[in-house]
A and B are shown apart, each in its own frame.
Chain A
Amino acid sequence: MPKGRVSIVVERCKACGFCVEFCPSHVLALSSAYNSKGYHPPHVVHPEKCSGCDLCGMYCPDFAICASKVDTPAAHNSAKSHDTDNATKKEGGQ
C-alpha cells in the first residue's frame, strides 16, 4: 500500500531529470513518450515505493510534478490545480 501519490502535469515538463534523480525511493523514470514540446516527461515506475515526501515537487523547476501522502486532506480535494490545457496525468482512475 503506497504512502504517496504522484501527479504529473506533462505539458509543463522539460525533462530536466531532477525529479528522477532526487526521488529518494527511485519511483520515477523518464518515459519514452513525448509531450507536445518534444520532451520526455517522467512516469511512475515504482508507485508502491512512493512515500509522498514531495521532493520531486520541490525540485521540479517547471512546477510539473508533485506528490502527496494518500491520507492527507488534499487527496479528497477536487481538481483545482489543473492547468488550462488539461494535460495533467494522474495516477489512477482516468
Chain B
Amino acid sequence: MSDSLDHDLVQLESGPVENPVEQFLRSDRVPHIWCPGCGIGTTVNSFARALIESKIDLQSLALVSGIGCTGRVAGYVKLDSFHTTHGRAIPFATGLKLANPKLNVVVYSGDGDLSAIGGNHLIHAARRNLDLKVICVNNLTYAMTGGQTAPTTPDHSITSTNPYGVFEPSFNLPHLVEAAGAVYVARWTTFHVRQMARAIGEAFRKKGFSFIEIISPCPTLYQRRNKLGDGLDTMKFYKEKSKVRNGAPTSEVGLTLTGDIVVGKFVDRDRPDYQSMMRTQFHESLGERYIEQPEMVCS
C-alpha cells in the first residue's frame, strides 16, 4: 500500500515559494513532452537563472529554435519565440537581428539541427560573427525521430541507423565553431547547473557569435541503446567524467563513448561583430550618405 503524500509531509512555515523558472514558462503547456531524465528542462532552468542574473530586458529577447527535442524549448518559454524549420534557426535569427538590432536573439536548438542540416548556417554565422547566442543541447543523437546517428554521435555508439555501431568520426563542435570564427565557446553538461547559467550570462554580455554546447542525456534512446543507464546514471557519469579545463585547446575536447568529457570556457575573444563591421564599412564608403536604420518597424 503506498503512502499518501499528505502523511509524509512535515509541517513547516506556511506560504508557497516561487520557482525562478516559472515566470518564463508558458504554464498552460506544462508538463512538457520531454522524457523522464531528459536534460533539456535542466538547461532551461539555467537559462532562466541567467536571464534573472543578467537583468536582461525580456521584452527585447527573442528565442529561435529548430526542429527536434531541444527545438521544443521555444514553445515552452514565455518570450517572443519562433519554432522554425529543421536546421534553419540560425538564418531566421539572423533576419530577426538584422531587422531589429535592439533584439537579443538566442538560438536554442539541438546537435542534429545545428550541426547536420544546419551545419552550413552554423559556420557562416560564426564566420560573420553575428551577434547571436547559440545554446546547443547535445544529446549525441537525433532524439525526436527515434535516436538516429547525428554528426555528434561518438564512434562505436549504437543508434537506430547504425545498429552495428557508428563508424564515422564525430564532430568536435567547439573546435568547429572556433575555427569558423565564434568569439565565445564553452561546453558544460546538464550536471553543471551553475556553470551553465554563468556561461549563458557571459554570452549575453558578449557581442558576437557565442556558442554554448551542453551535453545532455537522452535516456530513452541514446543511453538505452548503449546500455548507459538512465538519466540519473548519466548525470552521475557527467559528474565523474567531466574535467574542467578552461582555456583548453578546442582540438583536444572531442568526445568519445565512455571517455572523459572536457568542459569549461574554451574561447573568449574579441572581434567586431557583423553589424559593427557593416556600419564601419558603410561609413567609410558612403560617409554622410549612409543611413543607419536602428529598427525597421513598419506600421
Complex contact flag A–B (Cβ < 8 Å): yes
Expressed in whole angstroms, the Cα–Cα distance for A54 and B12 within the complex equals 17
Which interface class (under 10, 10 to 19, 20 to 34, 35 or more) fits A?
A: 35 or more
Shortest beta-carbon distance from B48 to chain A in Å: 9
- The answer on a CB contact under 8 Å between A33 and B2 is yes
Q: Contact between B13 and A18 (Cβ–Cβ < 8 Å)?
A: no
Assembly CA distance A11 to B30 (angstroms): 10
Q: List residues 12-69 of chain A with CB under 8 A from any CB of chain B.
A: 12, 14-18, 21-22, 31-34, 37, 39, 41, 43-45, 47, 54-55, 57-63, 65-68
Q: Does B259 contact A (CB under 8 A)?
A: no
Asked if A92 contacts B13 (CB within 8 A), the reply is yes
User: Would B19 and A81 count as touching, CB distance under 8 A?
Assistant: yes
Size range of the interface on B? Answer: 35 or more
A sample of 28 inter-chain contacts (CB < 8 A) reads: A5-B13, A10-B5, A14-B31, A16-B36, A17-B231, A18-B232, A32-B2, A33-B3, A43-B8, A45-B8, A47-B12, A55-B193, A58-B46, A58-B49, A58-B193, A58-B194, A59-B42, A63-B30, A63-B41, A63-B45, A65-B19, A68-B18, A75-B17, A77-B16, A79-B16, A81-B17, A83-B27, A84-B28
Tell me if B11 counts as interface (CB < 8 A to partner A). Answer: yes
Please, which residue of chain B has its CB at the minimum distance from the CB of A89? B5
* A14–B12 CA distance with the chains assembled, in angstroms: 25
A4 CB to nearest chain B CB (Å) = 9
**Pairwise interchain contact A61-B42, C-beta atoms closer than 8 A:** yes
For A47, list chain B residues within 8 Å (CB). Answer: 10, 12
Q: Secondary structure at chain A's binding surface: helix, strand, loop or mixed?
A: loop
B residues neighboring A (CB under 8 Å): 2-6, 8-22, 25, 27-28, 30-32, 34-42, 44-46, 49, 190, 193-194, 197, 230-232, 235-236
Given contacts A63-B21, A67-B17, 16 further A-B contacts (CB under 8 A): A5-B17, A7-B16, A14-B31, A17-B37, A17-B232, A44-B9, A55-B193, A58-B197, A62-B32, A63-B45, A66-B21, A80-B18, A81-B16, A82-B16, A83-B27, A92-B10
